[in-house]
């Protein structure tokens, strides 16, 4: 564990450009008594007490509510986006050692999306805490883009105030269960794509999928498909569409090659495809 921390410390030093990151100039930011009440409520929600409350105020301040441009959360959003991506990438890399780069990227793209960030922000009730200007303050609900930006800005503020560990703890507390749930529900893992990569790596061949048969009436037809690589035929699979059957056949092939050793992933994938067919 110690060596991993050292590696990421070095990576952060390279990424940022120096070993330590100083907080932005917030001396000109004014924090009123009313602000302190709102910030204290926000800290309670976040589960973190800021050493510099001005950082949190900036993180919550949309450009429309800032007295000048640099007093808004735009710069913090820029930094927070990068830090959020690093935290999620690191966690996925360590948590799923058998996933290929493409699958990790797919999961990450969903987790760091504006939609997910806005959902988390709403769960944290940031819509009640963001500082916006006239015109926006009367909008109900607050635009989700503002909430998404505020979430990323808070990640940056935590990083600057409490270091990487503070930001990491917050992000994982907010998103870890969502990530596990998404994976458990069959977050888009393309077994055909994965099997093609394995096949080309191991056999220098591209797999083909052969339709073995069909069954059932036209409105509930099932398809029976097997994956073939050269002279090797792998265990076949059934699906409610040819595409689904090919995915199941690819998964069976991956399992037979030892690339995937959790058979429960089969039912997960079938559930996902059933959901897609109903859409």
pLDDT at site 192: 86
Cα separation of 152 and 76, whole Å? 7
Which has the higher per-residue pLDDT, 4 or 59? 59
Q: Please provide residue 48's backbone torsions phi and psi, each rounded to the nearest 5 degrees.
A: -150, 135
Residue 27 has pLDDT above 60, yes or no: no
Rounded average pLDDT over 210-218: 92
pLDDT at site 197: 85
216-271, pLDDT tens digit by residue? 988 888 899 999 999 999 999 988 888 888 988 998 898 888 877 554 354 344 43
Rounded average pLDDT over 194-214: 92
Residue among 210, 234, 233, 232 nearest 223 (CA): 210
Catalytic residue among 77, 103, 152, 244: 152
- Is 262 a known active-site residue? no
pLDDT at site 25: 55
Share of the chain above pLDDT 70, in %: 77
Which has the higher per-residue pLDDT, 276 or 127? 127
140-196, pLDDT tens digit by residue? 788 899 999 999 999 999 999 999 999 999 999 999 888 887 676 655 567 888 898
pLDDT at site 175: 92
- Neighbouring-strand partners of residue 224: 213, 238
Q: Angle at CA 117, nearest 5°, toward 111 and 122? A: 135
Residue 19 has pLDDT above 50, yes or no: no
Instruction: Please tell me whether residue 38 adopts helix, strand or coil conformation.
Output: helix
Which has the higher per-residue pLDDT, 158 or 113? 158
- Is 81 a known active-site residue? yes
Cα separation of 148 and 156, whole Å? 13
pLDDT at site 142: 85
Please state, in angstroms and as integers, the Cα–Cα distance from residue 181 to each residue in 149, 185, 187, 192, following that order: 24, 6, 9, 22
Cis upstream peptide for 244 (omega within 30°): no
Residue 62 has pLDDT above 60, yes or no: yes
Residue 273 has pLDDT above 50, yes or no: no
Q: Judge residue 275's burial from the number of C-beta atoms within 10 Å of its C-beta, 0-12 exposed, 13-18 middle, 19 or more buried.
A: exposed
pLDDT at site 10: 55
Domains of the chain: 2-184 (1.10.1520.10), 191-278 (3.30.160.20)
Residue 6 has pLDDT above 50, yes or no: no
Which has the higher per-residue pLDDT, 17 or 160? 160
| Lowest pLDDT segment from 26-30, 129-133, 146-150 | 26-30
Residue among 256, 250, 276, 251 nearest 266 (CA): 251
Residue among 255, 264, 205, 215 nearest 234 (CA): 255
Please state, in angstroms and as integers, the Cα–Cα distance from residue 206 to each residue in 121, 126, 145, 197, following that order: 44, 49, 43, 8
Rounded average pLDDT over 47-71: 87
Which has the higher per-residue pLDDT, 140 or 37? 37
Catalytic residue among 9, 27, 35, 81: 81
Q: Taking the model in full, what pTM does it have?
A: 0.61
Residue 13 has pLDDT above 60, yes or no: no
Q: Judge residue 257's burial from the number of C-beta atoms within 10 Å of its C-beta, 0-12 exposed, 13-18 middle, 19 or more buried.
A: middle
Instruction: Please tell me whether residue 211 adopts helix, strand or coil conformation.
Output: strand
């Amino acid at each position: 564990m110690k060596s991993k921390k050292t590696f990421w410390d070095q990576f952060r030093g390279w990424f940022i450009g120096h070993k330590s990151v100083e907080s932005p100039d917030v001396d000109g930011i004014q924090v009123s008594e009313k602000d302190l009440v709102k910030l204290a409520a926000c800290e309670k929600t976040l589960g973190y007490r800021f050493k510099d409350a001005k950082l949190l105020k900036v993180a919550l301040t949309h450009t429309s509510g800032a007295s000048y441009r640099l007093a808004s959360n735009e710069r913090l959003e820029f930094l927070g986006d990068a830090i959020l991506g690093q935290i999620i990438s690191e966690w996925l890399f360590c948590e799923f050692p058998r996933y290929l780069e493409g699958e990790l990227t797919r999961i990450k793209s969903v987790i760091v999306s504006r939609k997910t960030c806005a959902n988390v922000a709403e769960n944290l009730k940031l819509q009640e805490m963001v500082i916006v200007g006239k015109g926006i303050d009367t909008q109900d609900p607050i635009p989700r883009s503002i909430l998404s930006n505020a979430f990323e800005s808070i990640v940056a503020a935590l990083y600057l105030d409490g270091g990487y560990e503070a930001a990491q703890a917050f992000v994982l507390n907010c998103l870890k269960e969502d990530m596990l749930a998404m994976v458990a529900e069959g977050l888009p893992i393309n077994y055909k794509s994965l099997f093609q990569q394995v096949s080309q790596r191991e056999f220098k061949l591209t797999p083909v999928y052969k339709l073995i048969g069909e069954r059932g009436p036209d409105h509930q037809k099932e398809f029976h498909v097997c994956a073939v690589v050269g002279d090797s035929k792998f265990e076949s699979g059934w699906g409610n569409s040819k595409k689904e059957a090919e995915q199941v056949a690819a998964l069976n092939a991956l399992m037979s090659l030892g690339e995937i050793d959790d058979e429960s992933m089969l039912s997960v994938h079938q559930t996902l495809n059933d959901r897609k067919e109903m859409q």
